[in-house]
Amino acid sequence: MTINQFEDIIAWQKAQGLAVLVYDKFHLLKDYSFKDQICRAAVSVSNNIAEGFERGSDADFCRFLYIAKGSNAEVKSMLYLAYRLNFMDDQSLNEALLLCTEIKRILSGLINKLNKAY
Protein backbone atom coordinates (compact mmCIF):
# COMPACT_ATOMS: atom_id res chain seq x y z
CA MET A 1 0.00 0.00 0.00
CA THR A 2 1.35 3.38 -0.97
CA ILE A 3 0.79 6.33 1.30
CA ASN A 4 0.06 9.51 -0.64
CA GLN A 5 -0.25 12.00 2.21
CA PHE A 6 1.02 12.12 5.76
CA GLU A 7 -2.52 12.39 7.10
CA ASP A 8 -3.02 8.75 6.11
CA ILE A 9 -0.17 7.54 8.34
CA ILE A 10 -1.62 5.82 11.42
CA ALA A 11 1.33 6.92 13.57
CA TRP A 12 0.64 10.55 12.62
CA GLN A 13 -3.07 10.16 13.48
CA LYS A 14 -2.26 8.62 16.86
CA ALA A 15 0.42 11.25 17.54
CA GLN A 16 -2.15 13.97 16.90
CA GLY A 17 -4.36 12.21 19.44
CA LEU A 18 -1.47 12.17 21.91
CA ALA A 19 -0.94 15.92 21.46
CA VAL A 20 -4.65 16.59 22.05
CA LEU A 21 -4.59 14.37 25.14
CA VAL A 22 -1.53 16.17 26.53
CA TYR A 23 -2.94 19.64 25.84
CA ASP A 24 -6.27 18.64 27.35
CA LYS A 25 -4.65 17.20 30.48
CA PHE A 26 -2.17 20.01 31.14
CA HIS A 27 -3.81 23.17 29.75
CA LEU A 28 -4.68 24.48 33.24
CA LEU A 29 -1.36 23.50 34.83
CA LYS A 30 0.30 26.45 36.57
CA ASP A 31 3.80 25.02 36.12
CA TYR A 32 4.23 26.74 32.77
CA SER A 33 7.72 25.40 32.12
CA PHE A 34 6.58 21.78 32.55
CA LYS A 35 3.44 22.38 30.51
CA ASP A 36 5.39 24.02 27.69
CA GLN A 37 7.95 21.20 27.55
CA ILE A 38 5.48 18.32 27.47
CA CYS A 39 3.22 20.09 24.97
CA ARG A 40 6.14 20.88 22.66
CA ALA A 41 7.36 17.29 22.81
CA ALA A 42 3.85 15.95 22.10
CA VAL A 43 3.41 18.22 19.08
CA SER A 44 6.88 17.28 17.84
CA VAL A 45 5.87 13.65 17.34
CA SER A 46 3.27 14.26 14.63
CA ASN A 47 5.15 17.22 13.15
CA ASN A 48 8.29 15.17 12.57
CA ILE A 49 6.29 12.38 10.95
CA ALA A 50 4.70 14.93 8.59
CA GLU A 51 7.93 16.77 7.84
CA GLY A 52 9.86 13.58 7.18
CA PHE A 53 7.17 12.25 4.87
CA GLU A 54 7.20 15.45 2.84
CA ARG A 55 10.98 15.33 2.38
CA GLY A 56 10.43 12.82 -0.40
CA SER A 57 13.12 10.24 0.33
CA ASP A 58 12.98 7.10 2.42
CA ALA A 59 16.26 8.01 4.15
CA ASP A 60 14.98 11.45 5.19
CA PHE A 61 11.62 10.04 6.25
CA CYS A 62 13.37 7.40 8.36
CA ARG A 63 15.58 10.05 10.02
CA PHE A 64 12.53 12.11 10.98
CA LEU A 65 10.74 9.00 12.26
CA TYR A 66 13.66 8.46 14.64
CA ILE A 67 13.25 12.05 15.83
CA ALA A 68 9.49 11.48 16.29
CA LYS A 69 10.29 8.32 18.25
CA GLY A 70 12.62 10.32 20.49
CA SER A 71 9.98 12.98 21.09
CA ASN A 72 7.49 10.25 21.93
CA ALA A 73 9.94 8.89 24.53
CA GLU A 74 10.33 12.41 25.94
CA VAL A 75 6.56 12.67 26.37
CA LYS A 76 6.50 9.26 28.04
CA SER A 77 9.25 10.26 30.46
CA MET A 78 7.47 13.49 31.31
CA LEU A 79 4.21 11.60 31.89
CA TYR A 80 5.92 9.54 34.58
CA LEU A 81 7.22 12.74 36.14
CA ALA A 82 3.76 14.35 35.93
CA TYR A 83 2.35 11.39 37.79
CA ARG A 84 5.04 11.58 40.48
CA LEU A 85 4.34 15.31 40.85
CA ASN A 86 0.60 14.57 41.22
CA PHE A 87 -0.26 16.40 38.00
CA MET A 88 -2.26 13.37 36.80
CA ASP A 89 -4.02 10.29 38.16
CA ASP A 90 -3.46 6.58 37.50
CA GLN A 91 -6.10 6.30 34.80
CA SER A 92 -4.85 9.33 32.85
CA LEU A 93 -1.27 8.10 33.10
CA ASN A 94 -2.15 4.62 31.88
CA GLU A 95 -4.19 5.95 28.95
CA ALA A 96 -1.36 8.25 27.85
CA LEU A 97 1.35 5.59 28.31
CA LEU A 98 -0.65 3.10 26.27
CA LEU A 99 -0.89 5.61 23.43
CA CYS A 100 2.86 6.33 23.62
CA THR A 101 3.60 2.61 23.46
CA GLU A 102 1.32 2.17 20.48
CA ILE A 103 2.95 5.09 18.66
CA LYS A 104 6.42 3.68 19.40
CA ARG A 105 5.47 0.29 17.93
CA ILE A 106 4.05 1.82 14.77
CA LEU A 107 7.08 4.08 14.33
CA SER A 108 9.45 1.16 14.87
CA GLY A 109 7.59 -0.84 12.22
CA LEU A 110 7.76 2.03 9.74
CA ILE A 111 11.46 2.51 10.43
CA ASN A 112 12.16 -1.19 9.91
CA LYS A 113 10.22 -1.19 6.64
CA LEU A 114 12.03 1.89 5.38
CA ASN A 115 15.44 0.54 6.39
CA LYS A 116 14.79 -2.56 4.29
CA ALA A 117 13.78 -0.42 1.31
CA TYR A 118 17.08 1.45 0.97
CATH number for the domain harbouring residue 82 = 1.20.1440.60
Report the alpha-carbon distance of residue 101 to residue 98 in Å, rounded.
5
> Which residue segment(s) compose the domain that 100 sits in?
9-117
4 inside domain: no
How many structural domains does the chain have? 1
Confidence at residue 36, expressed as pLDDT on a 0 to 100 scale:
98
Q: Which parts of the chain have pLDDT scores under 50? A: none
Report the alpha-carbon distance of residue 38 to residue 22 in Å, rounded.
7
Average pLDDT across the chain, whole number: 96
Q: Which amino acid is at 71?
A: S
58 inside domain: yes
**Nearest-5° angle of CA 30, CA 18, CA 39?**
35
2 inside domain: no
40 inside domain: yes
Per the CB < 8 A criterion, the answer to whether 41 and 69 are in contact is no
pLDDT in tens, 5-25: 999 999 999 999 999 999 999
37 inside domain: yes
Confidence at residue 56, expressed as pLDDT on a 0 to 100 scale:
85
Angle between helices 58-84 and 10-26 (to 10 degrees): 30
1 inside domain: no
